[in-house]
Each structure stands twice: as structure tokens, then as C-alpha cells.
Structure 1
Amino acid sequence: MTGIRPVAGSTTAGFGPNPHAGSGTSGDGHDRRRSLASWQQTLDELEGDVVSARAALARGRGEEIAAWGRRTADWVPPTDLGPIPADLRERAARLLQHQLAVGEELVERILQSQRQRDVAARMSYTPSRPVASFVDRGL
């Protein structure tokens, strides 16, 4: 389902008025404004998360970046949002592209960090020069 509703008072396949179309009352305008405001707030929150993740990447702190990768709670949209208003579709599409780009960068940084840890774990921490295990008193 696309979330696009038929125009109020439209007909469906020649069987009279569509029972699912809006009534066209003044309350619809209020609902649209409320929906627009709810969507704007939701998009603001999502954009804030993306900006925070981008800032964490820019700071380059491994633990902070890894913390973004360990987030386990998926975003669950509020149930009262309804379909996204046409005025906000372009903004939402840009946000999605930004989220995907930051997500790819997070994955790359996490993989890079794991590779570095693997290399560090394989490195020998013994001194680079041999240390005498006895003292020659003959000299």
C-alpha cells in the first residue's frame, strides 16, 4: 500500500462515491497540519541522529564509533504518523541517502578497526634486540 488516499468524493470503478475517501471537512486541514508537524519533528530527530553519527566519525574515536555499531534498538516509527506529506517527501529522500552514506562509513570504520585489532593481536611484544641471558665474566 502506498499510503496515497483517493481524492474526497471520487468514485471507485463506477460504483459511486469512494467510502474510504476523506470527507473533505475542515477537520481534514487540521489533521494534515498535525501530520505535517509530526513528520517534521520525526525527521528532525532522525536528522539529529545522522548528524551525531557523522560527528562521531569526524572525531575518529574508536570506542564512540564502535558504540554506534553496537546499537541494537531499531527505530520504530510512531504509530500516529500516517503517510508522509508530499511537502516532506524530498526531505525524507535526502535524509535516507544521508543515513545510508553514514551507515556505510560506520561499517567501513568498524571493519577497519577490527582489522587493526587483529593485526595488533598478532604482533609480538618481545624486545626487538636479544637480551643476554647470562653474563660472560671472562671479558
Structure 2
Amino acid sequence: MAEPWTDAWSHALDAFEMDVAEAEALIAAGHLIDSAPASTALAWQAPTNLGPLPGSLRDRAARILERQLDMAARLADAARSTRQQMRVVDDLRKQAPVTPVYIDTIG
């Protein structure tokens, strides 16, 4: 007989899996900012009243968690890379404009 909370956990894991798949697709396509509104992430709430994780779903939950942790690391790397690129752009803006050394009087 299935544990009473198995269906609730299955639905919660389905939602987690879809969220991870969406994040994976976005980062693979390189569309993190334009395609992922912050309101979606801010609206997320942890599921409640799920009860203990059924043993039959433990492996699936572990695989989803592994994918989530991988995505978190990839997003952190992308954020770090973006900050580095922004610093380079800011440095380029701060450089004095190049003054011509010669004046073309013929052309």
C-alpha cells in the first residue's frame, strides 16, 4: 500500500523537476536575464504538509537535488563571469579618450 503522502511528494518533485529543467534550458540558451522574470523566482514557496519523503521517491529526490545543486553552481559561475565582464566594461569607460597623434591634412 502506498504511503498517504506519496502523491503529494510526487507532485512536488514534478514541480521541482520542471523548475530545474527550465533553468537548465535558459542557461544552455544563454538567456538568463531576459527570459527569467525575477517575479517567478520571488513567488516560489516551499511546499507544505508533504509529510516525510517516501522511501520509494528517495532516489528521484536525490537526482533532482543533484541537478539543483549543479544549476546553483552554474548560475554562481555565470554571475561571477558577468561581474568580471562588467568590471572590464567600467574600466574601459574610465579610460581617457585616445587623442590623435597626427592630423590628416590631405585626406
Provide the TM-score with structure 1 as the length reference.
0.60
* Larger-gyration structure (1/2): 1
- Which residue of 84, 90, 96 corresponds with 1:115? 84
Q: Report which of the two has the higher share of helix.
A: 2
Aligned length: 102
Specify the SS of the correspondent of 1:50: helix
Identical pairs, percent: 31
The within-5 A match list for 1:68-79 is 71-72=41-42, 75-78=45-48
Deviations 1:39-97 (Å, cap 9, x if unpaired)?
A: 000000001110111111011125248866xx44664221x210011100010011111
- Which residue of 93, 96, 104 corresponds with 2:73? 104
Structure 2 unaligned spans of 5+? none
CA change 1:59–1:126 in 2 (3 A) is farther
Q: Higher relative contact order by CA 8 Å / sep ≥ 6: 1 or 2?
A: 2
Deviating runs (4+, > 3 A) in structure 1? 64-68, 71-75, 124-129
Structure 1 unaligned spans of 5+? 1-28
